[in-house]
Amino acid sequence: MLLDAQALYGGYGGMDILNGCSVAVDSDQIAVIVGPNGAGKSTAMKAVFGLLKVREGTVTFAGDEITNARPESLVRRGMAYVPQERNVFPNLTVHENLEMGAFVRSDDLSESLDRVYGLFPAMAEKRKQPAGELSGGQRQMVAIGRALMVEPKLLLLDEPTAGLSPRVMDEIFERIIAINATGVGILMVEQNAKQALAIAHRGYVLATGRNRFTDTGAALLANQEVAQSFLGG
Ligand SMILES: Nc1ncnc2c1ncn2[C@@H]1O[C@H](COP(=O)(O)OP(=O)(O)OP(=O)(O)O)[C@@H](O)[C@H]1O
Ligand SMILES: [Mg+2]
């Protein structure tokens, strides 16, 4: 397993937000976390990426235990994270955003830049434009592209399609599938739960920091209880 987070507990102060949740994903897989607002989905991602202290539980990545390792060391190991909010530098150009993504690298970036522009051709056209001037969908593409600049093994995406039109959402999911096809494991949180589970090899329904349901995306979609309680019928 590329990433295996087991029985995580932790929170922001005295109180735990994560109450034993577990998530995992392999290199050739897309794993999707869904669940109500406040369930702890973003918190679980932060725990994996070293942004939240894990009080109990373990995270292993590419064979090593990395529980509570610092984000920068995780980036160097091949983990990249796109947060739910403020995930681009609005005053920097698209190109500068991509260069910033490679902050841990000191080698030649041209191959990675070519790959990102190949994946998101619209970004190549807008490379000199400030990211803050782009549409929401294009900003998400910049954010994902920025994360890809470290050539990660695992990409963590927190609500990459939030607030986007169905057409743009489909486009983002298509690119995520294409990224995964190059051998990058994907762990993502999604509010567009049905559409996301449809492309998920592994699915997790999180509620109050616990796994309520864990199965393949297809099985969760077919589960009536999941559909009624968490997917709007
Ligand atoms: N920085 C923080 N400090 C204190 N409490 C926080 C912080 N961030 C989140 N919380 C609380 O932790 C709980 C879980 O929040 P989290 O952001 O993980 O939920 P989520 O499942 O991602 O929700 P959403 O669907 O709204 O993004 C919520 O009760 C939230 O208020
Ligand atoms: Mg969230």
Structure tokens at 89: 């530098």
Gyration radius (Cα) of the chain, Å = 17
The verdict on residue 212 lying in a domain is yes
Residue 224 domain boundaries: 3-85+152-230
Give the pLDDT score at 141. 97
d(CA 31, CA 186): 6
Task: For a ligand 1 pocket test, name from 32, 41, 156 the mutation site with the most ligand atoms within 8 angstroms of its C-beta.
Answer: 41
The verdict on residue 64 lying in a domain is yes
Give the pLDDT score at 232. 81
The verdict on residue 57 lying in a domain is yes
* Residues of the chain under the 70 pLDDT cut: 233
The verdict on residue 35 lying in a domain is yes
Number of domains in the chain: 1
- Which residues have their alpha-adjacent CB atom under 5 A from ion ligand 2? 41-42, 84
Give the pLDDT score at 233. 67
Q: pLDDT digits over 12-27, tens only?
A: 988 999 999 999 999 9
d(CA 129, CA 150): 22
Q: Which is the closest atom of ligand 1 to the Cα of 191?
A: 25
The verdict on residue 39 lying in a domain is yes
Structure tokens at 205: 């329904």
Q: Ligand 1 within 6 A of 10 CB?
A: no
Give the pLDDT score at 182. 96
d(CA 162, CA 139): 12
* Global pTM value: 0.97
Which CATH number covers residue 202? Answer: 3.40.50.300
Give the pLDDT score at 53. 96
The verdict on residue 184 lying in a domain is yes
The verdict on residue 206 lying in a domain is yes
Give the pLDDT score at 13. 87
Give the pLDDT score at 14. 81
d(CA 122, CA 16): 42
The verdict on residue 8 lying in a domain is yes
- For helices 110-119 and 94-101, what crossing angle results, to 10°? 120
Q: Ligand 1 within 6 A of 38 CB?
A: yes
> Closest ligand to 192 CA?
1
Residue 100 in 3-state DSSP? helix
